[in-house]
């Protein structure tokens, strides 16, 4: 049942949105179709967006304690294209998952072409890439090729069997489709591919009204009742936004306009401890459209975190728990090939950036904000849901559950420490390893970003000599325990000794460990007690120093190695 919203003014909360269905049950079935959905493109957009909300709910339930970021439109496009190669039984499965069962199926694929042009055309900031990749050396039927390219501008690809070449081609293709915004889509190509669906999207938003960078400052973000971290918070004391309060969902809803007809809708629970499941379960295309109609334009004192989020994940396991489960076991893709095929892998990557950038310095003078005795206070300083949609068609572009704006998104929580080896002087030919996933952020030095994930081995002696003099900065992402971080440092240094059986010369490593939020006191206590007894207070926090040495056998030779560690636990 479609739920409608009415907004009313009261003294405590200027605008309140209450869920209200039609009171007269007899008249409920006589409601006219919303004019918005009379457009075939908008009706199709609502269908694929409902698939996106379903996919989000499934993924969010699997990662209850971590950030989630999805761009379902790219995957919906790949799935819709895949349905062209399906027999009737499997086509019906995909149609139900994409909510096509309420549409004119004969027009779906032609309409999708118009939807793609409207949402992700070449001139748009939203960059989306969708592809169907088949098992190695498979020749698909010509009819499937032509239909796929006609309606979806999608070129089919079969793997060559050369893993490195296939990986390079896929990553290069995504890089090209996203105009260089996504440099690496996949780390490796699975060996057992039958059908692989690839979906990638990048969006860097530009607000209609820019935020003043001078007002951006580190502010508290409450992860829960006990933990608070510092994040870069943008603020505007004279913002104009669209606002409402949903009394049943117990959340404050705000909508901010971006350029190119895109809007960002924030669902902010009133309490940091509130479970967001009820909000998530309410999300449908119709619900969000109704909220959009009922929000009121108001003045507000606004603050919200800068976002730079990156999500990369295989979603096959998630899709297996949806209506598409049979695509992984016994589907009919006879229109692609006579050879039995099944959906084996689904790879997705989404990148989203929201900073101070905007089109103009002041709000649109034509915006009619409701006259209130005081402005709304809207501070996004606790976990929230974010929906980015195309206002013209209602297409869901991005959806995210942001528990920690600092990231990372991919299965990690914010309670992490960043370990940086910021001075590593070596004078021997060795392999410099990088342990753990690499943190891709703007504050990494150029050498970090240039070195490969596996470190480097230079074959040219002269080049090796030059590299040995350069400062290298491997970054390690670890659970938030400094004693664990210290153990990792020792492991890294031990790994540095793998250099053709030669004895390791004295190595000096300076280590900087930064831990944010309430984790600092706990971790400092652990480190102080276990490893580094000498500490001094500085203007930046607690500084620890300790020289360590240990003995081990390498290649039959007794080796002595020493390590000088300096750690800075920032306040």
Query: Is 279 within the bounds of a domain?
Result: no
For residue 284, give both structure tokens: 């449908």
174 shares a domain with 118: yes
319 shares a domain with 173: yes
For residue 101, give both structure tokens: 């069962």
The proportion of the chain whose per-residue pLDDT surpasses 90, expressed as a percent, equals: 54
CA–CA separation, 454 vs 457, rounded Å? 9
For residue 34, name the pLDDT band (cuts at 50, 70, 90). Answer: confident
401 shares a domain with 523: no
Average pLDDT of the chain, as a whole number: 73
Q: Is the pLDDT of residue 507 over 70?
A: no
Query: Is 283 within the bounds of a domain?
Result: no
Collapsing DSSP states into helix, strand and coil, what is residue 551? strand
Check residue 251 and give its pLDDT: 95
Check residue 373 and give its pLDDT: 52
Which of 410, 439, 466 is the endpoint of a domain? 410
Domain count, the chain: 2
For residue 389, name the pLDDT band (cuts at 50, 70, 90). Answer: very high
421 shares a domain with 403: no
Which of 387, 410, 433 is the endpoint of a domain? 410
The proportion of the chain whose per-residue pLDDT surpasses 70, expressed as a percent, equals: 63
337 shares a domain with 483: no
For residue 366, name the pLDDT band (cuts at 50, 70, 90). Answer: low
Q: Is the pLDDT of residue 333 over 50?
A: yes
Query: Is 273 within the bounds of a domain?
Result: no
Which of 410, 431, 449 is the endpoint of a domain? 410
Check residue 360 and give its pLDDT: 80
484 shares a domain with 383: no
Q: Is the pLDDT of residue 225 over 70?
A: yes
Identify which of 96, 423, 396, 401 has the alpha carbon closest to the alpha carbon of residue 274. Answer: 401
Higher per-residue confidence, 34 vs 241? 241
Q: Is the pLDDT of residue 309 over 60?
A: yes
Check residue 121 and give its pLDDT: 82
479 shares a domain with 386: no
The CATH number of whichever domain residue 355 belongs to comes to 3.30.497.10
Query: Is 287 within the bounds of a domain?
Result: no
Check residue 369 and give its pLDDT: 59
For residue 488, name the pLDDT band (cuts at 50, 70, 90). Answer: very low
pLDDT by residue (tens digit) across 135-185?
A: 998 999 999 999 999 999 998 999 999 999 999 999 999 999 999 999 999
For residue 31, name the pLDDT band (cuts at 50, 70, 90). Answer: low
Owning domain of residue 171: 36-236+306-410
Q: Is the pLDDT of residue 214 over 90?
A: yes
CA–CA separation, 524 vs 543, rounded Å? 10
Give the predicted TM-score (pTM) of the model.
0.69
Neighbours of 532 (CB within 10 A): 21
CA–CA separation, 418 vs 476, rounded Å? 6
356 shares a domain with 446: no
> Mean pLDDT throughout 545-571?
41
Q: Are 20 and 4 in contact (CB under 8 A)?
A: yes
433 shares a domain with 342: no
373 shares a domain with 229: yes
Query: Is 301 within the bounds of a domain?
Result: no
Check residue 101 and give its pLDDT: 82
Query: Is 174 within the bounds of a domain?
Result: yes
Query: Is 373 within the bounds of a domain?
Result: yes
CA–CA separation, 235 vs 301, rounded Å? 8
Q: Is the pLDDT of residue 97 over 90?
A: yes
462 shares a domain with 387: no
HSE (side-chain half, CA atoms, 13 Å) at 521? 3
For residue 86, give both structure tokens: 């399906």
For residue 408, name the pLDDT band (cuts at 50, 70, 90). Answer: low
Q: Is the pLDDT of residue 268 over 90?
A: yes
CA–CA separation, 222 vs 229, rounded Å? 7
pLDDT by residue (tens digit) across 185-207?
A: 999 999 899 999 999 999 999 99
Strand duo 416-425 + 127-134: pairing:
unpaired
Query: Is 89 within the bounds of a domain?
Result: yes
232 shares a domain with 130: yes
């Amino acid at each position: 049942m479609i739920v409608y919203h009415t907004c009313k003014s009261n003294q405590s909360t200027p605008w309140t949105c209450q869920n209200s269905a039609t009171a007269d049950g007899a008249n409920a079935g006589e409601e006219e179709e919303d004019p918005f959905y009379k457009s075939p493109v908008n009706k199709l957009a609502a269908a694929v967006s409902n698939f996106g909300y379903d996919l989000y709910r499934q993924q969010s339930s699997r990662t209850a304690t971590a950030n989630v970021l999805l761009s379902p439109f790219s995957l919906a496009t790949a799935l819709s294209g895949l349905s062209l190669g399906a027999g009737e039984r499997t086509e019906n499965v995909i149609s139900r998952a994409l909510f096509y069962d309420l549409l004119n199926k004969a027009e779906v694929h032609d309409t999708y072409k118009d939807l793609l042009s409207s949402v992700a055309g070449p001139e748009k900031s939203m960059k989306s890439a969708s592809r169907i990749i088949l098992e190695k050396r498979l020749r698909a039927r010509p009819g499937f090729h032509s239909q796929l390219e006609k309606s979806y501008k999608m070129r089919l690809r079969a793997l060559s069997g050369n893993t490195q070449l296939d990986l390079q081609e896929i990553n290069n293709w995504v890089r090209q489709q996203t105009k260089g915004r996504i440099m690496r889509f996949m780390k490796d190509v699975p060996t057992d591919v039958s059908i692989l669906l690839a979906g990638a999207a990048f969006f860097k938003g530009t607000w209609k009204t820019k935020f003043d960078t001078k007002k951006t400052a580190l502010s508290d973000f409450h992860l829960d009742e006990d933990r608070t971290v510092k994040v870069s918070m943008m603020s505007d004391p004279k913002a104009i936004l669209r606002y409402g309060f949903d009394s049943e969902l117990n959340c404050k809803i705000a909508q901010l306009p971006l350029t190119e007809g895109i809007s960002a809708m924030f669902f902010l629970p009133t309490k940091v401890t509130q479970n967001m499941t009820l909000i998530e379960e309410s999300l449908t295309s119709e619900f969000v459209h109704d909220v959009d109609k009922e929000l009121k334009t108001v003045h507000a004192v606004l603050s919200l975190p800068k976002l730079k989020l990156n999500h990369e994940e295989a979603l096959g396991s998630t899709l297996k728990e949806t209506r598409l489960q049979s695509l992984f076991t016994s589907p009919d893709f006879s229109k692609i090939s006579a050879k039995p095929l099944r959906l084996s892998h689904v790879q997705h990557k989404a990148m989203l950036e929201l900073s101070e950038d905007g089109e103009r310095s002041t709000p649109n003078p034509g915006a009619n904000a409701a006259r209130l005795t005081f402005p709304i206070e809207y501070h996004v300083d606790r976990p929230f849901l974010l929906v980015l949609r195309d206002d013209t068609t209602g297409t869901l572009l991005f959806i995210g559950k942001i528990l920690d704006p600092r990231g990372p998104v991919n299965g990690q929580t914010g309670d992490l420490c960043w370990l940086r080896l910021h001075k590593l002087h070596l004078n021997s030919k060795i392999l410099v390893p990088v342990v753990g996933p690499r943190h891709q952020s703007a504050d990494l030095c150029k050498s970090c970003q240039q070195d490969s994930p596996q470190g480097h081995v230079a074959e040219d002696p002269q080049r090796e000599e030059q590299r040995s003099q350069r400062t290298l900065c491997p970054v390690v992402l670890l659970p938030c325990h400094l004693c664990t971080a210290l153990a990792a440092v020792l492991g890294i240094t031990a790994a540095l000794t793998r250099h053709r059986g030669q004895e390791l010369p004295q190595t000096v490593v300076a280590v900087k460990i930064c831990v944010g939020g309430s984790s600092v006191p706990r971790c400092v206590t652990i480190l102080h007690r276990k490893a580094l007894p000498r500490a001094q207070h500085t203007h930046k926090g607690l500084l620890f120093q300790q020289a360590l040495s240990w003995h081990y056998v390498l290649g039959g030779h007794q080796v002595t190695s020493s390590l000088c560690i300096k750690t800075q636990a920032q306040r």
